[in-house]
Amino acid sequence: MRVSVPSEVKNNEFRVAITPVGVNELVRRGHEVFVQQGAGEGSSIPDEDYEAQGATMVDGAEDTWAAGEMVLKVKEPIEQEYGFLRDDLTLFTYLHLAADEPLTRRLVEAGTTAIAYETVQLPSGSLPLLYPMSEVAGCLAPQVGAHTLMKPSGGRGVLMGGIGGVANAKVLVLGGGVAGQNAANIAMGMGADVTILDTDLEKLRTLFWRFNNQVRQLASNNLTISELVPQMDMVIGTVLIPGAKAPKLVTDDMVASMKPGSVLVDVAIDQGGCFEGSRPTTHADPTFEVHDSVYYCVANMPGAVPHTSTWALTNATLPYAVQLAERGWADALRADPALAKGLNTHAGQLTYRAVGEAFGMESVETDDVVAGS
């Protein structure tokens, strides 16, 4: 199979969808890999490293997209890439369609077979291709939140902790999954007083032992959230419903009751965000204010640490990319039910129900599409 890897074009997105290790694995299996010139520079991977493993370097995005039967990306296509979508293309990337109606409709119109990293789901319910970026985003959230809390950044001027005789910052983490656990771990390491909320009691019991009861865990509900939010210096939202829009757990009225200069970091912004006032921002302009509180809603947080993120992502996606290249999309999905859950669009049809419900669009069952292909 011909596999193409274009440069990412989203604002300050420095990741790339494959490492030289990934190129080596595909090429030694007889596949052709085309990488856009300079695609790896933001992740400190020079073109020469790709060429050394057998990749063909291509000048320009249009030619790179055209060269591949399958395109591997990191982030969803943005408007300037819509013209590259076509009906004989398999696209394997993060899509987050429930928060992006224009892209959803464009993929359907183009007839592209689009497989989303974030909806590949194992029988256990875990999301193996979202996991590494959830780790990264979770670790970053307290860091960017702490920076935003500083007075020159518009925050309250509160240090996370570590000063004798002075109260630590109070941090609330919504969601005890991968991102939430990593956020709590880093925030605790920075000296903050951390509380995690989740609706899954088993998950909360696990967190009790993981953090040796040093992090407060509470069952999540509207009343508890509304009581805790006004007390906090920082709220980190990590709530995720696979493939669907994130629930709005923190209302503007709650934010209005917070201390001026408090910070809210919405890790769930790729799926629409879990704060009522959230809207996507970029690394170039990451924050805005709501009721005197500062929101950080960058939609590609892991892009800030691209070297780490690129290697972590390829470690997770490569086995699936190999299967798609070896078998073709239909046989690969038939052979792996977890990968089949990643199919979002094919041949002009929407194949993920939660996305259809978000936009009032008809969808078909993935199993029917795969069986008929």
With left for phi above 0 and alpha for psi between -120 and 50, is residue 176 left, alpha or beta? alpha
Residue 336 known to be catalytic: no
- Rounded distance, CA 351 to CA 95, Å? 13
Active site residue: 96, 193, 198, 346, which one? 96
Distance separating alpha carbons of residues 313 and 283, to the nearest angstrom:
20
* Contact (Cβ atoms closer than 8 angstroms) between residue 308 and residue 136: yes
The catalytic position among 100, 193, 270, 336 is 270
Output phi, psi for 294, to 5 deg: -105, 125
For 197, the 3-state DSSP assignment is strand
Ramachandran bin of 96, using left for φ above 0, alpha for ψ from -120 to 50, beta for the remaining angles: left
Q: Quick check: 237 and 215 in contact, CB under 8 A? A: no
Residue given tokens 């000296």 in the structure block: 191
Task: Give 13: exposed, middle or buried? Use CB within 10 Å, 0-12, 13-18, 19+.
Answer: buried
Is residue 195 a contact partner of residue 171, using CB atoms and an 8 Å limit? yes
Q: How far is CA 94 from the centre of its chain?
A: 7
Cα→Cα distances 36→8, 16, 28, 48, 182, Å:
10, 10, 20, 12, 33
CB atoms within 10 A of CB 253: 11
Residue 232 to residue 255: CA distance in whole angstroms: 10
Residue by residue, DSSP assigns 55-108 as: PEEESSHHHHHHH-SEEE-SSPP-GGGGGG--TT-EEEE---GGG-HHHHHHHH
Write the CA distances from 240 to 125, 145, 199, 246, integer angstroms.
12, 20, 12, 6
Are 65 and 4 spatial neighbours (Cβ–Cβ below 8 Å)?
Answer: yes
**Catalytic annotation present for 283:** no
The catalytic residues are: 96, 270
